[in-house]
Structure 1
Amino acid sequence: MNIVYIANEKFAVHLGVSLYSLYERNRYEKDIRVFIISTGIGEDSLGKLKSIAKKFGRDVEIIELNDTSKYFDTGIQDSTFDISKMGRLLVGEILPEDVERVLYLDCDMVILHSIRKLYNTELGENIIAAVEEPTVLERVRYEIGLDYEASYVNAGLLLIDLKKWRENNLGEKTISYSKSIWDKSLFGEQDAINGVLRWKIKKLLPKYNFFSNYKYFSYNSFIKVYGASLSYTKKDLKEAKRRPVILHFAGDERPWIAGSMNPYKKAYDYFKKKTPFRDVPIEKGKNLYMLIYHIMDLVTFICPTLRKRISEYYIDKAYKKHSERK
C-alpha cells in the first residue's frame, strides 16, 4: 500500500498521531510505503515521525517541497495560498514513477481499522475514489460551476489511480482549473478536484472518511435540508457513526483544542499518548468558543435547518471577504 501525507510544522503533531494509528491498525500488512511531503516540517518533528515508523519496523520517505514556482505562478500565491493543501495536486509529479496507486490522507485523520479493503477498491473507469460531503452548500457548488447532478466530495481522503492521473495530465489540469476559479473558490484544491474530475470519481462509503461532527446529523437532514443526492444509505451512515474506519477531525471542534467536546476525542488522545509528541500541549484560549460550537452541534439534532442557516451566514461572510482580496 502506498500512502501519502502532506504537512507543515504546524500539523506535524497531528500527522504523528495519524501515522501511528495507520501503522498500529494495519500492523499485519506486509507492505506499507508511506511518503511524507514536507512543506516546512522541522528536523525535530521529522525525527519523531521517523521514530514512529521505526517502532513498527517501517520506513517513511520524506520528500521536501520548498520551491513551488515551477508549479504555481505568483498570480495564485496570495495570502490565502497554502502549499500544504494545494500540494496534493502535485502527487503525480512528486511521487516516484513506480507508484501507480496511492491513498492520500489529511493529517487530521485517525485510522481505527484496517484500510486494506479501502485501498483495494475497484475504480473501474474512474480516476479517484472519495467520500461525498453532503453538507456543502449550493452556493459553493454554484460558484465553482459544478453540475447539479455531480456529487461534491471531500478531498481529505483520495484514493488515486496515479497511472491514469499522469496519463491524463491531471496535475496540470487541476492547477489550471484552480487558477480559473481562484476569485470565487473558498476551498481551493478541493473545489478544483471536484470541478475537473466530477464524472471520474468513485463514491466511497462514509466510514472511510467520517467527519466527526456528522455524528449530529441525520441521514434525512442530508437529503431534505441540504438537498444532497447520496450514493450511500441510511444504514451506511449509521455504521459510519458507530464504527468508522477513518475519522476526520474536520470543522472547528478539534480534539487538540482545550474545551473541545468532540464525541470522538478519545480516539485522538489514545494515539497521541503513544507518540513522541505526547508532551506537546493542547491549544488553549478557545474554551468559550468550543462551548458555543458544541451547543450548535447539539442544536443540529433538533433543528438541522438552523445549522444550515448558520453555515450560510458564515459562508456569505467568507465570500465577501474573499472578494475583497481581488
Structure 2
Amino acid sequence: MIDNNLNIIYSSDDNYCIYMGVSILSVLENNKNFNSINIYIVDNNISDGNKLELKKLVDSYQRNIIFIGFEKYKKYLNLNMEWQISISSYARLFVANMLPSNVNKVLYFDCDTLIVDSLDELWNQDIKDFYVAGVCDTVPSNTKQAIGLNSTDFYINAGMILINLKKWREDNLEKRLLDFIDDYNGNVIHHDQGVINGVIKNKKILPLKYNLMTSYLMMSREDIIKFYKVEDSFYSQEQIDKAIENPVYIHYTPGFTTRPWVKGCKHPYVDLYWKYLKLTPWKDFKPIKNNEKFHVKMVNWIYLNLPFDVADFLCKSLMKVTGRG
C-alpha cells in the first residue's frame, strides 16, 4: 500500500538552524505531491526567533511542524569523549520515544542536506523486517571492527535513515543502543552513528541516490577504496554514476570542499545550495569564514588540484613527517 503521509525528523541547535531550514525548504519544494508532511524538530536550544521563522516557512506550504525538546533525553547519555559534532546528533537514538505511538516510521535527515527530488520511492521502501534502511558509508575495516562488526558487514551513514519505529518500540531498541554506549564507556567511534551500526547488524541497504555524500562526488570508486581503505564490497562505479546523474538527497559532508555555507566552498553543488537558501527566511545570510586549520586547508587544496595518486602520496608523506599519520 502506498503511504502518502510523510514524516521527517531533524535535530538541531541554534548554530545549525539556518542550514536545517534550507534542507526543510528543499523537502517542501520537491514533495508537494504528499497528502501531508509532518516535520518534527528536536530542539536543542533553538532561539525563539528561529523557531518562529521555521514555523512560518512550513506554514507557508500548509504543512505541519512539531518541536520536541531535547533536554530531558540528554540525561540518559553517558558520554565520555571529545566533541567533533553537536550532541544534537544523538537525538537519533531516542526517536521511537520522541514521536507519537501511532507514528510507525520516520525519515531522519541531517541538517547539511538538500532534497532535490521526490521522496516517494524512499518513503515507501518495505522495511517491515528491518530497524533501519540507509546508504553505505566509506569507512575502513578497523572502524567497523572497533564497534564489533566484521570487515565485510554493511556500515550505513546515519545522516539519512528510514526508521521502522514500530519495530524499534517492540524490541526496545533504545535500551540496547544506550547499553552499547555504556559497554564502550561512553566512547564509541563515530558517535551515535557508530552506536547505530554497532547495534543494528541487519540493515536494509538503499541506492546511493538517497544519500549522495561528498566523497562519491569527488573521487572515483577506485580512489575511494584507496583513500578510505574500504573493502571492495560496496557500490559499483555504475551505481555511483547513476546516483550522481539523478540524486534525490545531497549530503554536504566534508570531503576536501568545506561546507556550502563557508567561503571558498568547492562542492559541485554549492550553487544549488545557495539557490535554495535564497528561498528561505534567511536569504540575506552571507558565507562564513573558513576556520579550518592550516593543514586541513592544505590537504584539501592538494586533493582538489593534483591527480589523486600524486595528492595521496604527497599528503600521506606530509602526515608522516608531521606526526599526523
Question: TM-score range, shorter-chain basis?
Answer: 0.7 to 0.9
> Structure 1 residue 243: deviation in Å?
2.1
CA contact (8 A) 1:173 1:196 kept: yes
CA contact (8 A) 2:81 2:187 kept: no
For residues 193 and 306 of structure 2, the distance between their equivalents in structure 1, rounded to whole angstroms, comes to 28
CA contact (8 A) 1:34 1:59 kept: yes
Aligned residue identity for 2:190: F
> Structure 1 residue 124: deviation in Å?
4.6
Does residue 1:280 correspond to 2:282, yes or no?
no
Identify the match of residue 65 of structure 1 among 67, 70, 81: 70
1:55 to 1:307, Cα distance in 2 relative to 1, 3 A? farther
Which residue pairs with 2:205 in the alignment?
A: 203
1:69 to 1:40, Cα distance in 2 relative to 1, 3 A? closer
Does residue 1:93 correspond to 2:61, yes or no?
no
1:306 to 1:17, Cα distance in 2 relative to 1, 3 A? farther
1:299 to 1:152, Cα distance in 2 relative to 1, 3 A? farther
For residues 56 and 159 of structure 1, the distance between their equivalents in structure 2, rounded to whole angstroms, comes to 23
Which residue pairs with 2:245 in the alignment?
A: 242
Which residue pairs with 1:323 in the alignment?
A: none
Which residue pairs with 2:117 in the alignment?
A: 113
Q: Which deviates more, 79-88 or 211-220?
A: 79-88
1:32 to 1:214, Cα distance in 2 relative to 1, 3 A? same
1:59 to 1:72, Cα distance in 2 relative to 1, 3 A? same
Pairing 1:178-189 to 2, within 5 Å after superposition: 178-182=181-185, 185-189=188-192
For residues 149 and 117 of structure 1, the distance between their equivalents in structure 2, rounded to whole angstroms, comes to 27
Does residue 1:43 correspond to 2:48, yes or no?
yes
Which residue pairs with 2:302 in the alignment?
A: 295
For residues 103 and 310 of structure 1, the distance between their equivalents in structure 2, rounded to whole angstroms, comes to 42
1:295 to 1:222, Cα distance in 2 relative to 1, 3 A? closer
1:317 to 1:64, Cα distance in 2 relative to 1, 3 A? farther
TM-score normalised to structure 1 length: 0.87
Pairing 1:313-324 to 2, within 5 Å after superposition: none
For residues 318 and 278 of structure 2, the distance between their equivalents in structure 1, rounded to whole angstroms, comes to 34
> Structure 1 residue 292: deviation in Å?
4.9
Which residue pairs with 1:152 in the alignment?
A: 155
Instruction: Please give the per-residue CA displacement for 1:57-81, whole angstroms capped at 9, x wherever unaligned.
Output: 11211111123355224xx266538
Q: What's the % identity of the aligned pairs?
A: 29
1:14 to 1:182, Cα distance in 2 relative to 1, 3 A? farther
Tell me the SS of whatever aligns to 2:77: coil
For residues 85 and 212 of structure 1, the distance between their equivalents in structure 2, rounded to whole angstroms, comes to 19
Which residue pairs with 1:24 in the alignment?
A: 29
1:202 to 1:237, Cα distance in 2 relative to 1, 3 A? same
TM-score normalised to structure 2 length: 0.87
CA contact (8 A) 1:207 1:243 kept: yes
Instruction: Please give the per-residue CA displacement for 1:70-96, whole angstroms capped at 9, x wherever unaligned.
Output: 5224xx266538430111100011111
Does residue 1:233 correspond to 2:236, yes or no?
yes
Tell me the SS of whatever aligns to 1:107: coil
Instruction: Please give the per-residue CA displacement for 1:70-126, whole angstroms capped at 9, x wherever unaligned.
Output: 5224xx266538430111100011111111010000000100000110111112522
Identify the match of residue 144 of structure 2 among 141, 145, 152: 141
CA contact (8 A) 1:216 1:300 kept: no
Identify the match of residue 15 of structure 1 among 10, 14, 20: 20
> Structure 1 residue 242: deviation in Å?
2.2
Tell me the SS of whatever aligns to 1:68: helix
Which residue pairs with 1:321 in the alignment?
A: none
Question: Mind listing any 5+ residue stretches in structure 2 that lack a counterpart?
Answer: 1-5
For residues 93 and 241 of structure 1, the distance between their equivalents in structure 2, rounded to whole angstroms, comes to 35
1:303 to 1:207, Cα distance in 2 relative to 1, 3 A? farther
For residues 169 and 299 of structure 1, the distance between their equivalents in structure 2, rounded to whole angstroms, comes to 50
Q: Which deviates more, 108-117 or 231-240?
A: 231-240
For residues 141 and 310 of structure 2, the distance between their equivalents in structure 1, rounded to whole angstroms, comes to 19
Does residue 1:55 correspond to 2:57, yes or no?
no
For residues 17 and 324 of structure 2, the distance between their equivalents in structure 1, rounded to whole angstroms, comes to 30
Which residue pairs with 1:128 in the alignment?
A: 132
For residues 205 and 318 of structure 2, the distance between their equivalents in structure 1, rounded to whole angstroms, comes to 25
For residues 317 and 241 of structure 2, the distance between their equivalents in structure 1, rounded to whole angstroms, comes to 25
CA contact (8 A) 1:130 1:204 kept: yes
1:23 to 1:223, Cα distance in 2 relative to 1, 3 A? same
Q: How many positions carry a matched residue from both structures?
A: 312
Q: Which deviates more, 110-119 or 233-242?
A: 233-242
Instruction: Please give the per-residue CA displacement for 1:197-233, whole angstroms capped at 9, x wherever unaligned.
Output: 02x2000111100112321221233446624243533
